[in-house]
Amino acid sequence: MKKEQEIYYTKDVPVPETPEPGTEPEPWGKTRIIGERVPRVDGYERVSGSAVYPSDVMLPGMIHGAILRSPYPHAVVKSVNIEKARNMPGVRAAISMDSPGADLQWPYNKEVSTKLFDPRCLFEGETIAAVAAETPYQAMDAIKAIKVEYDVKPFVVDERKALKSGSVEVHEGGNRLKTATHERGDVEKGFAEADEVVEKTFRTECEIQTPLELHGCVANWDGDRLTVWESTQGVYSVQSKVAQVLKMPLSKVRIIGHYMGGGFGSKLNASKYTIIGALLAKASAKPVKMFLTREDAYIAVGNRPPSNMTVKMGVKKDGTLTAIQLKGNATGGAYPAGGTALIDWLFRDLYTCENVRTEMTDVYINAGPARPFRAPGHPQGSWALEQMMDMLAQKINIDPVQIRLKNIPKVSQAREGNPPYTSTGLEECLRKGAETFGWDRARKEAEANNKKDGHIKRGVGMGGCVWIVGGGGPPSTVVVKYFSDGSVNLNMGASDIGTGTKTVMALVVAEELGVKPSVIQIENADTGTTQYATPSGGSKTVPTEAPTVRNACIDAKQQILKMAAEDLGLDVEDRDAEDLRFEGEKVVSKSDPSKSVKIKEIKKLNKRGLVMGIGYRGPNPENKTVNPFAAQFCEVEVNTRTGEVKVLRFLGAHDSGRVMDRLTYDNQVFGGITMGIGFGMTEWRVLDDGQTGKMLNKNWHDYKLPTALDVPMDMTCVPIELHDHEANNTGAKGLGEPVTIPTAGAIANAVNHATGLRFTDTPINPIFVSRMQDKTRAAEKAGKEALSKEARNKEEG
């Protein structure tokens, strides 16, 4: 006979106190399960293949969609003929700009929109037509049979050239979208007061999200109701966009996204393919699976914008920053897509400085629009700022860690009114990170090694960061159903984007109700059955949803206490009911522990079957700001003969408030560092600037993602666990973004420490290392020749 599953924890830690209705709960003290290393609650489903991702969805009679995209970066479509494609074997539907119902507007933002199938193609990958057929191969064959007449136009795919006089105009009126400026204090005065001033120009290349699961959906109509299984970070944001474009009531659009194979910001909203899939499903009267090819995912669904930054900074001999100036540009592609968004934030907010001026220009080019990408703008800014901090430290002969410690902020300098942080862990990140890494010893050992003859050089580097968000906030709604046997159903709209959101929320329920995660059933990410939630992204999911889940649990406990009071003969409306304590398996009188009732024996609960607790996310603290901080340290080895750079070890010290699940916490840190290594060392979009304007490396073979061979075996996570009780009732802040911000800059500083070479452009790979070494040798040779010539002239004179 099967043994009955255990429901309650027996760990000798009390269940958190239940606050009175309308009052805030006390911060957690010692916890039962929060902060432990707990495997994913859906780990088996993910590794066994039983988890159904949107790309796994198979429906009866389902057919497959494909999209024809512009092969040119700039062209006007003069005509489209889909008749041959329509009549090919297996084809059930074909649509283009001339098809009934396909003349729809596609809003890029509130100000700018284009057409679903726009005759004016401003980037390679713009949608032209689409088909649906019985097999993916038939759909692709049909796409190739569509005849399109193009008027091919000149193009510009480099934002630096796009700003030059006489450049091809992407839009009428020029390529300069907007210039954003920020200024405080007197920058010129700050430079005048500086003992040393450094100025340098930096560039970061475009990075592509390229998640494991491709972008796409399955669309199915049932009468006038549309259901879409979408690989998305936010089902409600997709629902809103689909309903807007198709002019449908929200109640008739259902989006489901229980699992998602990566997004990194590129799946925060609906895409054109979602609408096209729905139109093909309507035209064919069949469910349509519409997933992009890997090549299309490189050019049409987002990127991290390339950037160019000229930075000038001043410092006193004691390490005090006196002035920071940033002037640069970046591009979000052919449409407004936040090309310069947040690149300047670290310059404005990370280190204390009274005199700051930033100016960033967003530029149009003929390339695919950008989308948010893990910590938008911050890695680009960090690449420049963290190298500048090291250069200033070298100028005044101070340790890189010490110059940062000298300029720790206590308030947010970039926000109006300079609100204080609810918690500031940057100093602890720097000190504890350096201590655990063995910073001083590692620097000395590397310098001693580099004095020896040999072509293998070693160096250590570091960088700090703050992430602009990370505090979450409303709106969010969660429902917790507490059944009469003590088991629980957790209902929330948030997507688990692979970071362990479902696991963390289950741990909050387990902590608050005293039950085991194994008896918690989770329903999530379905606009038809779950509660409203904003998209999972920006490191706001845990600090938004976890307090909401806790509030729902508290609401359930308050109802159970009232029920238990009746069974114990207490006046529910009287203060006597407040004498009761919820202890997981039972309710006990605080004043008389002999008075108790087991949860399973509460009469009203058994009669009703369950209690439904509803939680809402409360507001963030007024006049304060919630931000996570971090410092990362690394050691590299450089082969000066081949230019190969090998990362030997990495350490991330992160202040993201309370650690909810140490296992998922560590994984976030290691994953973010891995992505930062890609940004700094291996990844860049290559566009043919001369002949075609096309992307030349739109596949996993030519676009070099970091592999296990590029990532160090020695990776350490050091949580700086400041329980931020002002931020929210769980004390947690965001983690997913800051873990990738300082990585690339830290590597660049380590390479400089090893070689003396300053790499201002990403990526640092053998090609660019060798080029830099050649330039350095040429400069040294030229300098020696000049000195020799000067000496000869003196002798002859």
Return the active site residues. 737
Pick from 536, 498, 440, 490: which is nearest to 213 by CA? 498
CA distances for 579 relative to 20, 327, 613, 792, angstroms: 11, 63, 21, 98
**Cis peptide preceding 763, ω within 30 of 0:** yes
Residue 622 CB-density burial (10 A; 0-12 exposed, 13-18 middle, 19+ buried): exposed
Is residue 697 classed as helix, strand or coil in its secondary structure? coil
The residue among 349, 392, 384, 401 whose CA lies nearest residue 633 is 401
- Contact (Cβ atoms closer than 8 angstroms) between residue 743 and residue 670: no
The Cα 439–Cα 459 span in angstroms is 11
d(CA 505, CA 545): 8
Angle between the N-to-C axes of helices 272-284 and 235-246, in degrees from 0 to 180, rounded to the nearest 10: 60
Alpha-carbon distance values, 485 to 12, 14, 604, 689 (Å): 21, 20, 13, 66
Distance of alpha carbon 335 from alpha carbon 175, whole angstroms: 10
Cα 648 to Cα 218, 460, 473, 548, 753: the distances in Å are 43, 10, 39, 41, 14
717 vs 446, 649, 664, 779, CA distance in Å? 22, 11, 11, 41
Alpha-carbon distance values, 376 to 213, 346, 628 (Å): 21, 12, 15
List the end-to-end C-alpha distance of the chain, in Å, as a whole number.
108
CA distances from 549 to 545, 578, 759 (A): 6, 23, 46
The token pair at 715 is 């990776």
**C-alpha to C-alpha distances, 699 to 274, 294, 686, 703, nearest whole angstrom:** 23, 7, 11, 6
- How far CA 155 is from CA of 26, 43, 308, 329, 695, in Å, comes to 60, 48, 20, 19, 13
Nearest to 380 by CA among 335, 337, 312, 331: 331
DSSP H or E run through 50: none
DSSP symbols for 123-176: STT-EEEEEEESSHHHHHHHHHH-EEEEEE------HHHHTSTTPPPSSTT-SE
Cis, bond preceding 475 (omega within 30 deg of 0)? yes
d(CA 527, CA 451): 63
Q: What is the DSSP letter of 365?
A: -
* Residue in 428, 423, 426, 403 with CA at minimum distance from that of residue 353: 403
Which has the closest alpha carbon to 89: 129, 130, 127, 145?
145
Residues comprising the chain, all counted = 797
What is d(CA 131, CA 64) in angstroms, rounded to the nearest whole number?
8
Nearest to residue 99, comparing CAs of 82, 75, 84?
A: 82
Question: How is residue 614 written in tokens?
Answer: 């509803």
Q: How is residue 281 written in tokens?
A: 């499903």
